[in-house]
Amino acid sequence: MKFGVIIFPGSNCDHDAFWTIQNVARQPVTFLWHESHDLENCDAVIVPGGFAFGDYLRTGAIAKFSPVMESVRKFADGGGLVLGICNGFQILCESGLLPGALMRNVRLKYVCKPVQVRVENAETPFTNACHKGEVLTIPIGHMEGNYFCDQATFAELKRNQQIVFRYCSPAGELTSQANPNGSLDHIAGICSPGRNVLGMMPHPERSSEAELGGVEGFKIFESMVGAMAVK
């Protein structure tokens, strides 16, 4: 199995994701340049965090036109695994691979801290190493993490069990204090109807080694490796 990590101008978490896959998950991984259509026969693609194209216009609005994203859309349509982290989640929404949008945090401040997220769906290629209701501590770092969609889309997300993570308290409760950005229904991550595309605001690559203060984010990568191993 082989991972690919996209590099956009302004990406700043691409090397973090690469390190986690290569040195912690111990899987083959390559960088994918934003101007190339070639996904280099990767089995999974990571759209990393950062500030692609400086977040000009709005987050992800320019990155979605990159040649690599055309290939990512085709890859996802064919069932390929795509994980969008933070800015990557924003890019996936702008590209139409996931519904909804990420707006400015409700208090209009950049938020960078560890948060708790509750696993709402453990039956995806990204969460099969977790159990439903499990609380993970994973850091966030964003200004536009306030997930929003219209009511029809929201109803569909709930009906199809596409809400994968919700912000919660350490005890797993959905309190207003536990929602760091005002996100609709505490949503921290959603998946596509086919379960092969996941967007999440927390950074699992920043909590995949004990030296970073926690390892619970590694369950996302562990799940992906496990899912690809049984294909």
Tens of pLDDT, residue by residue over 146-168, are 999 999 999 999 999 999 999 99
Q: Does residue 231 have a pLDDT over 80?
A: no
Residue 115's contacts (CB-CB under 8 Å, 6 or more residues apart) are 137, 138, 139, 140, 167, 178, 180, 188, 202
Tell me what the pLDDT averaged over the chain comes to: 97
Residue 200 pLDDT: 98
DSSP structure string for 170-219: TTS---GGG-SS--GGGEEEEE-TTS-EEEESS-GGGGSBGGGTB-TTHH
Residue 230 pLDDT: 83
Q: Which residues are marked as active site?
A: 86, 203, 205
Under the banding of pLDDT at 50, 70 and 90, the label for residue 21 is: very high
Q: Does residue 181 have a pLDDT over 80?
A: yes
Residue 15 pLDDT: 97
Q: Where are the domains of the chain?
A: 3-229
Beta strands 81-85; 44-47: pairing state: parallel
Residue 135 pLDDT: 98
Q: What are phi and psi of 28, to 5 degrees?
A: -60, 140
pTM of the predicted model over 0.85:
yes
Q: How far apart are CA 72 and CA 210, in angstroms?
A: 32
Tens of pLDDT, residue by residue over 71-118, are 999 999 999 999 999 999 999 999 999 999 999 999 999 999 999 999
Beta strands 3-7; 44-47: pairing state: parallel
Under the banding of pLDDT at 50, 70 and 90, the label for residue 34 is: very high
Q: What are phi and psi of 147, to 5 degrees?
A: -70, 135
Q: Does residue 185 have a pLDDT over 80?
A: yes
Topology of domain 3-229, CATH: Rossmann fold (3.40.50)
Under the banding of pLDDT at 50, 70 and 90, the label for residue 57 is: confident
